[in-house]
Amino acid sequence: MSLELKSKFDLSGFNTLGLKSEAEQFVRIKDVCQIPELISYVEEQDLPLLWLGGGSNLVLGESVPGVVAQLALTGRELLSQDDDSVLLCIAAGEVWHEFVRWTLEQGYYGLENLALIPGSVGASPVQNIGAYGVEVCDFIEQVHAFDRASSKWVQLKSAECGFGYRDSIFKREPGRYVITSVEFRLSRNFQPRLGYSPLSERFSQPAKVTALEVFEAVCEVRRSKLPDPAQLGNAGSFFKNPVVTQLQFEKLLSTHPKIPNYPAETGRKLAAGWLIEQAGLKGYTEGAVGVHKLQALVLVNYGGANRTDIERLANRVKQQVQTEFDVLLEQEPIAYP
Ligand code: FAD
Ligand code: NAP
């Protein structure tokens, strides 16, 4: 077998929350041929299997049974190009932020608002990563994957991926698909998307702004309020922004006239970070974990925490927001096992 399985593998450096966690077995996947081999192995042994990228959207338990397989597939390929656009195929293990930076160096535009999101290219379709009014699904042509349900290699067109707000079939059917590469259609002509106030306030003359300036502005804003996981364990936004009905929104507006809100397909989107802050929890600390003092949507591990610690804090946040606003927060990072 070409798989180099390691037993009792410490995962605390493999999840950006830095939670104490140990995998029963761990393997790095460097070649797509190893994927069916690994699947046969776990099926024969009847073991659970987790596909791992950069571990930046996971809440890992202290003991992870079965196999954790980190996808380390690399490669960037230009499949085709014309005057307006390029089609790229990028391997799952490429680092997202490095890929975004490289696209700008090549003169391929579209991903600049998604700069500095941690993690891998392969995980980008899983929760349809988004920031500053842009979602990755806007640029995905198709996803290459191995489907465990049919035991076949598949290509899923964007419309087949069930993309939604921080959601996709890959998130809804965990473990079914292992994404090996993603095809992106990017533009050769830069169209700034400056709808979010940190960008619109900075660039008063959109016609003159460059893609690199937007990329750098996004990096700067993010660095100013988001903790760097290398310094302080976190998984980015711990809760999704809730969408409430128009009726519920009007009720909230009558008691909280300053409540930030945005249009959404099924009602009004509220800012979960604002709700947590108003519930008095910004900067709140509970043992080794806490609510970040600059961005209340981010829960942090000051060191040595485990999943129970972070879940206890998350439950407290959810309860307090529910009591104050009658709004239920939904966790964004994936708990495993
Ligand atoms: P992991 O955490 O390793 O995995 C996440 C899930 O995807 C797991 O279920 C895993 O099994 C699955 N998975 C991973 N790779 C594959 C694959 N190749 N095939 C199949 N399944 C796979 N998210 C946003 O949307 N917008 C943001 O602006 C944003 N900002 C963040 C800022 C910080 C500081 C942090 C820590 C996180 C942020 N996130 C954000 C969340 C996170 O970075 C993204 O969800 C990212 O795409 C996760 O990538 P990853 O490689 O770390 O995935
Ligand atoms: P922010 O600017 O403080 O705004 C708070 C929330 O309001 C955001 O979450 C955003 O929703 C929403 N919002 C702001 N302006 C909006 C507009 N013009 N139209 C619609 N919605 C608007 O947010 P932030 O925390 O600094 O994050 C900035 C961006 O990075 C956001 O898009 C956020 O999603 C993304 N981000 C995501 C993560 C993660 O882990 N998922 C972590 C950090 C940052 P949306 O979240 O729906 O965009």
18 CB within 6 A, ligand 1:
no
HSE at residue 310, side-chain half, CA atoms within 13 A, is: 29
196 CB within 6 A, ligand 2:
yes
For residue 191, what is the DSSP state?
Answer: -
Q: Which of 238, 192, 240, 237 is nearest to 218 (CA)?
A: 192
Place of tokens 């830069």: 190
Candidate of 297, 298, 299 to mutate for ligand 2, largest count of ligand atoms within 8 Å of Cβ: 297
Q: Which of 144, 137, 139, 125 is nearest to 185 (CA)?
A: 139
First to last CA, the chain: 26
List the residue whose alpha carbon is closest to atom 32 of ligand 2. 131
Q: Which of 301, 252, 324, 35 is nearest to 151 (CA)?
A: 35
Name the catalytic one among 94, 135, 183, 332: 332
Q: Which of 245, 235, 202 is nearest to 334 (CA)?
A: 235
Instruction: Specify if 120 maps to a domain.
Output: yes
134-135/130-131 β-pairing: antiparallel
Let me know whether 187 and 168 are in one domain.
yes
Let me know whether 12 and 97 are in one domain.
no
Candidate of 117, 237, 294 to mutate for ligand 2, largest count of ligand atoms within 8 Å of Cβ: 237
CA 188 to CA 43: how far, in whole Å? 45
Ligand having the closest approach to the CA of 156: 1
Instruction: Specify if 1 maps to a domain.
Output: no
Let me know whether 114 and 214 are in one domain.
yes
Domain boundary among 225, 249, 275: 225
Residue 321, domain extent: 233-336
Residue 232: predicted pLDDT: 98
237 CB within 6 A, ligand 2:
yes
Instruction: Specify if 266 maps to a domain.
Output: yes
What's the gap in Å between 120 CA and the centre of ligand 1?
Answer: 7
Q: Which of 3, 71, 16, 76 is nearest to 42 (CA)?
A: 3
241 CB within 6 A, ligand 2:
yes
Name the catalytic one among 112, 168, 237, 307: 237
Residue 2: predicted pLDDT: 87
Let me know whether 181 and 278 are in one domain.
no
Asked if 330 is an active-site residue, the reply is no
Let me know whether 192 and 102 are in one domain.
yes
Name the catalytic one among 166, 222, 268, 307: 166
119 CB within 6 A, ligand 1:
yes
CATH number at residue 239: 3.90.78.10
* Whole-prediction pTM: 0.98
CATH number at residue 29: 3.30.43.10
289-291/285-286 β-pairing: antiparallel
Phi, psi torsion values for 311, nearest 5 degrees: -70, -35
Q: Which of 207, 218, 325, 223 is nearest to 276 (CA)?
A: 325
* pLDDT tens, position by position, 17-59: 999 999 999 999 999 999 999 999 999 999 999 999 999 999 9
Residue 86: predicted pLDDT: 98
Domains of the chain: total = 3
* pLDDT tens, position by position, 270-322: 999 999 999 999 999 999 999 999 999 999 999 999 999 999 999 999 999 99
Let me know whether 21 and 129 are in one domain.
no
Domain boundary among 225, 250, 268: 225
225 CB within 6 A, ligand 2:
yes
Asked if 62 is an active-site residue, the reply is no
Quickly list DSSP for 201-237: TT-S-GGG--HHHHHHHHHHHHHHHSPPTTTSEEEEE
Q: Which of 35, 118, 128 is nearest to 73 (CA)?
A: 35
181 CB within 6 A, ligand 2:
no
333 CB within 6 A, ligand 1:
no
Let me know whether 65 and 121 are in one domain.
no
List the residue whose alpha carbon is closest to atom 12 of ligand 2. 271
Let me know whether 209 and 251 are in one domain.
no
**SS3 for 50?**
strand
* pLDDT tens, position by position, 188-225: 999 999 999 999 999 989 899 999 999 999 999 999 99
Let me know whether 131 and 240 are in one domain.
no
Let me know whether 142 and 279 are in one domain.
no
Asked if 151 is an active-site residue, the reply is no
Contact 324, 270 (CB under 8 A): no
**Average pLDDT score over residue span 126-141:** 98
Domain boundary among 15, 43, 71: 71
Residue 315: predicted pLDDT: 98
* pLDDT tens, position by position, 54-77: 999 999 999 999 999 999 999 999
Ligand having the closest approach to the CA of 176: 1
CA 154 to CA 310: how far, in whole Å? 37
Residue 302: predicted pLDDT: 98
Residue 196: predicted pLDDT: 96
CA 314 to CA 268: how far, in whole Å? 23
Confidence of residue 106 (pLDDT cuts 50, 70, 90): very high
Q: Which atom of ligand 2 is closest in space to residue 195's alpha carbon?
A: 18
Let me know whether 93 and 220 are in one domain.
yes
Instruction: Specify if 184 maps to a domain.
Output: yes
* pLDDT tens, position by position, 75-105: 999 999 999 999 999 999 999 999 999 999 9
Instruction: Specify if 324 maps to a domain.
Output: yes
Let me know whether 36 and 123 are in one domain.
no
Residue 1: predicted pLDDT: 54
